Amino acid sequence: MKDSFDVSAIFERIHPEDREKVSREAAEVISNGTHAKSEHRIVLPSGEVRVILGLGTVKRDASGKAYEMFGTGQDITERKLSEQALRQSQFYLSEGERLAHIGSWASADLGIRWSEDLNLYWSDEVYKIFGFDPKNGTPSLQQFLSAVHPQDQASLTATMKKLHEQHCGCDVTNRIVRPDGEIRYVRCVGIPVVEDGVFKGYRGTTMDVTEQELLTQELRREKAYLAEGQSLTHAGSWACNLVKRRIVHSSDENARLYGFDPSQGPIPFDHYYNTILAEDESAISAKLGNAIREGADYDVEFRIRRTDGAIRFLRGIGHHNPSQEIGEYVGITMDITEQKHAEQERERLRQLEADLAHINRVNMMGELAGTLAHEIKQPIAAAVANAGACLGFLEGERPDILEAREAASGTIGCARRAAEIIDHVRSLFKKDLPQREPVDLNELIREITLLLKGDIRRNSVTVNLELGEDLPKVLGDRVQLEQVLMNLMLNAIEAMRDANGSLTIASKATEDGHLLISVSDNGVGIPTDKIDRVFDTFFTTKPQGTGMGLAISRSIVESHGGRLWAASDSDRGSTFRFTLPNKV
Amino acid sequence: MVFIVDDDEDMRLAMQRILKTVKLRAELFATAQDFLQRNIPDVPSCLVLDVRLPGMGGLEVQQKLIESGINIPIIFITAHGDIPMTVKAMKSGAFEFLTKPFRHQEFLDAIHQALQRDQLARRQRNAMAELQERYKGLTVRERKVMDLVVSGMQTKQIASALGTSEITAAVHRGRVMHKMQAGSPAELGSMAERLKPSANR
């Protein structure tokens, strides 16, 4: 080094941006200080920038005036660069942590000695996660634990104890309560640090996983709702490949439908398929085959035999997304056993109703049996008498041919009448399914009146027919409608027994496209408190009555789309009316 | 005259036809009431009655006729054949009980017999009525004489019983025999027998 050199030349080497700083620091030292320390950049002639650390001491004379400074100049460029690099990487790390909400921590004491602070290091992000201020320094163990949610403190403490004693790793998620009161979910992962076979403590990461945690909880809830929903509706969801006979997904409820235990693990496709009853299998196989070929959705019903032996009705609906592979279906299966049973019940009931109506008819006929035997014998006896008279006219020397012929005609007429009555009775006994045909109600009324002639006479009843002209026909079951009329008329006659009553049957067309038929008697009437009950099944005032007549009559009228009701004046008689829609 | 009461029109007409073959006339009624309102003419008649009739039944009609003292023979007809009813009807004095259908000859036989019976009954009644008329024409004394004649007394005994002369007694006796139109005391005796209240039915 030269003995003296140009200070200004040195000064010029100083980086322009740092010159002012250096001058100021130098001036300060010279005036006040003893030791100088300055870091500044210089620019070498090559243009390279270096960092210099200048350390100097100021010599002062007795008056305190600085007269000399000596010191060292050190090229600390490398150190500075690596410091910079370190700072940069620290910055990146910090940024990374900040962006990922992941902080890092380390403990030099955990696993070695239990101390109040466990020699804990927290990165910036950990402070942020906890809402602590790094200026207050690393929290003590107690401060740390008090930030943990009261319900999770015990388990976290236990985890720490475990780490301390066993030197194992951990990955736990607990709740913390930030100073502002907000609850966050925090995941803490720790690993033991071993250097050269010596345990040196722990380091790990801390993550705020609140969003994920809440999302997971939401998903779990929804999954539970879905399972609940499936369980309640006995509907199981599934996804499978029908061609490869593989199950992709099957809900717990699906397994349960088939009688399997979902907790026993995934159930293979064939287990499901083999529960289908042999009788139903070929039809199902065909339907599915068609659907697969066309890539179409399907909706099939079939029976299975569950593992417990029970037979259940299932309905499977499968949907194929055209973007999927052939045979890939997603769908639901429902247990429709109850509905099927209900349908079968309904069918059975319908049959029972028909049977009951038949029994009622037979009963009614039974009631008429005595009358009918009489009714039939009359025309037969008359026929015999006429035939006898015919013979009588033909006897003797001069047979009266004219009279004989008349007698013979009489015979035929009476015999026909007998046959008609028998036909009528037979038709009423027939147990046919309801037939619908156009029926002329006036004609029906006249026929029944004829059939009941005996009863009418026997009870001294006067019959008045007030039948509307041009009464439109009704689309209905002739036999059933006869049953209704007969029932009402017999009831009316019964009510007027021994009383010289008058029975009026009227028919007319109403404005709203219906027919109104009324059967009125002036018999004993129905007490007001009973009038609503007359249509009840098993309600009867007759000692031998079944109580079914009116109930069945009402049921018949209603099945034809009409209404049957009663009005009564005690002691002045009753009127039963019913409407029927006309055949349109 | 045959009276027919049956609620079945065909039956009524058929029975009328049967009777026509033997030229018997018949009157037809649908109800018992209608028949009861008819005054029975004074000719041999019988009644054909259906047991089951609206309103008043056949057996009731029978009762009513008995009560009114009408003695027409009744032939019951019925489509039923139950025995208690038959017994009851016969006990009450029915002439015959036929079950429908019956053969026309059966019917005619019953009718003929009934008419014969009725004719006989009428004659007897007429005879009886006449006898009673004759008896009514006797004076008190003549009736006494009749009793004595019937008891078998001779005229002399009668005279002393009455306290009159024999001739008076003989005259009374003659008048009694004449009024009563008795040919002999024995005949008178049977007349007296018939006139007794117990004989009157």
Cβ atoms within 10 A of the Cβ of A366, count? 13
Is the Cβ of B11 closer than 8 Å to some Cβ of chain A? yes
> pLDDT tens for residues A533-559?
788 766 666 665 656 678 888 888 888
**A314 burial type by CB count under 10 A (0-12 exposed, 13-18 middle, 19+ buried):** buried
Closest residue of B to A458, CA-based? Answer: B54
Nearest Cα residue in chain B from A399: B21
What is the third-level CATH fold of B2-124?
A: Rossmann fold (3.40.50)
Element (H, E) at B171: helix B166-180
- Residue A133 one-letter amino acid: D
Instruction: Check A378 against B107: CB less than 8 A apart.
Output: no
- Flag if B79 and A381 touch (Cβ within 8 Å): yes
d(CA A16, CA A186): 50
Instruction: Find out whether A242 and A330 touch, Cβ atoms under 8 Å.
Output: no
The pLDDT tens digits of the residues spanning B37-69 come to: 888 888 889 999 888 777 777 778 888 888 887
- pLDDT tens track for B118-153: 999 889 888 888 888 888 888 888 888 888 888 888
In tens, the pLDDT along B189-199 reads: 888 888 877 65
Say if B2 is an interface residue toward chain A (CB within 8 Å): no
Residues of B in contact with A393 (CB under 8 A): 20-21
The mean pLDDT value for B20-36 works out to 89
- Name, in order, each residue with C-beta under 8 angstroms of A436's C-beta and a sequence gap of 6 or more: A475, A476, A477
A462: Cα within 13 Å, side-chain hemisphere: 7
For residue A579, the model assigns a pLDDT of 93
Residue range A434-584, CATH number? 3.30.565.10
Query: Is B11–A378 a contact, with Cβ atoms under 8 angstroms apart?
Result: yes
Q: Which of B7, B82, B104 is the mutation pick for testing A, counting most A CBs within 10 A?
A: B104
Among candidates A564, A549, A558, A436, which has minimal Cα distance to A486?
Answer: A549
* Interface predicted TM-score (ipTM) over 0.85: no
Listed by start position, the domains of chain A span 7-75, 88-208, 216-335, 434-584
- Rounded Cα distance, A35 and A29, in Å: 7
pLDDT confidence bin for A66, thresholds 50/70/90: confident
Is the CB of A414 less than 8 angstroms away from the CB of B101? no
**pLDDT of B163 above 60:** yes
Cβ <8 Å between A382 and B13: yes
In sequence order, what are the residues at sequence separation of 6 or more whose Cβ sits closer than 8 angstroms to the Cβ of residue A548?
A356, A359, A360, A363, A537, A538
Using pLDDT thresholds of 50, 70 and 90, give the confidence band for residue A432.
low
Average pLDDT of chain B? 85
- Work out the average pLDDT over A169-181: 92
Locate tokens 């910090």: which residue? A94
- Compute the nearest-CA separation of A451 from chain B (Å): 14
Task: State the nearest Cα–Cα gap between A430 and chain B, in angstroms.
Answer: 27
State the architecture of B137-199 in CATH terms: Orthogonal Bundle (1.10)
Task: Measure CB to CB from residue A382 to each of B7, B14, B107 and give the nearest one.
Answer: B14
Percent over 90 (pLDDT), chain A: 28
What distance in Å separates the CA atoms of residue A112 and residue A325, rounded to the nearest whole number? 60
- For the cut 80, the answer to whether the pLDDT of residue A160 exceeds it is yes
* Every domain of chain B and the residues it spans: 2-124, 137-199
| Residue A509: partners with Cβ closer than 8 Å, 6 or more residues away | A468, A470, A471, A472, A515, A516, A582
What is the CB neighbour count within 10 angstroms for residue A170? 17
Q: How confident is the model at residue A445 (pLDDT cuts 50, 70, 90)?
A: very high
Average pLDDT for A146-168: 90
Query: Is A385 in Cβ contact with B18 (below 8 Å)?
Result: yes
Per-residue confidence at B27, pLDDT binned at 50, 70, 90? very high
Q: Indicate the burial class of A580 (C-beta count within 10 angstroms; 0-12, 13-18, 19 or more).
A: buried
Minimum distance, in Å, between the CA of residue A400 and any CA atom of chain B: 8
A-chain residues near B15 (CB < 8 A): 385
Q: How close B56 comes to chain A (CA, Å)?
A: 10
What tens digit of pLDDT does each residue of A199-232 get? Answer: 888 999 999 999 889 999 899 998 888 888 887 8
CATH architecture of the domain formed by A88-208: 2-Layer Sandwich (3.30)
Asked if A69 and A57 count as a contact pair (C-beta separation under 8 A), the reply is yes
Identify which of A391, A406, A460 has the shortest CB distance to residue B54: A460
How distant is the Cα of B134 from the closest Cα of chain A, in angstroms? 46
Q: Which residue, A441, A494, A437, is CA-closest to A465?
A: A441
Contact B102 A393 (CB under 8 A): no
Q: CA of B22, closest CA in chain A: separation in Å?
A: 8
B55 at A interface, C-beta within 8 A: yes
Which chain A residue's Cα is nearest to B18?
A389
Q: Please answer yes or no on whether B14 and A410 come within 8 Å at the CB atom.
A: yes
Chain A partners of B7 at a C-beta cutoff of 8 Å?
A: 457
**How distant is the Cα of B47 from the closest Cα of chain A, in angstroms?**
17
pLDDT of A5 strictly over 70:
no
- The domain made up of A216-335 has a fold known as Beta-Lactamase (3.30.450)
pLDDT at residue A433 tops 70 = no
B21 touches chain A (CB under 8 A): yes
Distance from CA of B15 to the nearest CA of A (A): 6
Share of chain B above pLDDT 90, in %: 19
User: Residue B52 and residue A374: Cβ atoms within 8 Å?
Assistant: yes
Interface membership of B52 toward A (CB under 8 Å): yes
Inspect the interface and report whether the beta carbons of B79 and A378 lie closer than 8 Å: yes
Dihedrals phi, psi of A495, to nearest 5 degrees: -70, -20
What pLDDT is attached to residue B79? 76
Judge whether residue A3 has pLDDT over 70: no
> What percentage of chain A carries pLDDT values higher than 70?
93
pLDDT, residue A331, reads 92
Collect all residues of chain B within an 8 Å Cβ-Cβ radius of residue A373: 79
Q: CB distance A410–B10 less than 8 Å?
A: yes
Q: Where does the pLDDT of residue A47 fall: very low under 50, low under 70, confident under 90, or very high at 90 and above?
A: confident
Q: How many CB atoms lie within 10 A of CB A24?
A: 11
Nearest to A414 among B7, B10, B104 (CB): B10
Closest CA to A427 of A503, A507, A345, A486: A486
Higher pLDDT, B201 or A154: A154
| C-beta atoms of A385 and B102 within 8 A | yes
Q: Does the pLDDT value for residue B115 go beyond 90?
A: yes
Nearest to B22 among A382, A392, A410 (CB): A392
Model pLDDT for residues A477-530, shown as the tens digit of each residue: 888 888 889 889 988 888 887 777 899 999 999 888 899 999 999 888 787 777
What pLDDT band is residue A460 in, cutting at 50, 70 and 90? confident
CA A536, CA A347: separation in Å to the nearest integer?
A: 23
Chain A environment of B102 (Cβ under 8 Å): 381, 384-385
Is residue B7 within 8 angstroms of chain A, CB to CB? yes
Domains A7-75 and A88-208 share a fold: yes
Find the DSSP H helices in A321-400.
337-394
Cβ neighbours for A89, distance < 8 A, ≥ 6 positions apart: none
Which residue of chain B has the CA closest to A382? B11
Q: How many contacts (CB atoms, under 8 Å) link A and B?
A: 86
Domain boundaries A7-75, corresponding CATH code:
3.30.450.20
**Nearest residue in B to A498, CA atom:** B55
Give the whole-angstrom CA distance, residue A332 versus residue A233. Answer: 11
The answer to whether A411 and A390 have CB atoms below 8 angstroms apart is yes
Chain B contact set for A403 (CB, 8 A): 17, 20-21
pLDDT digits (tens, 9 = 90+) for A67-119: 887 888 888 889 888 888 888 888 888 788 778 878 999 988 888 888 887 78
The pLDDT value recorded for residue A90 is 84
Chain A: residue nearest B19 by CA?
A: A389
- When the pLDDT of each residue in chain A is averaged and rounded to a whole number, the result is 85
Contact assignment for A377 to B79 by CB distance below 8 Å: yes
A368 pLDDT more than 70? no
**Is B102 near chain A, with CB under 8 Å?**
yes
**Cβ-defined contact of B104 to A395 (cutoff 8 Å):** no
Instruction: For residue B199, give how far its alpha carbon lies from the nearest alpha carbon of chain A (Å).
Output: 41
Cα separation, A69 vs A71, whole angstroms: 7
CB-nearest to A381 from B17, B55, B100 is: B100
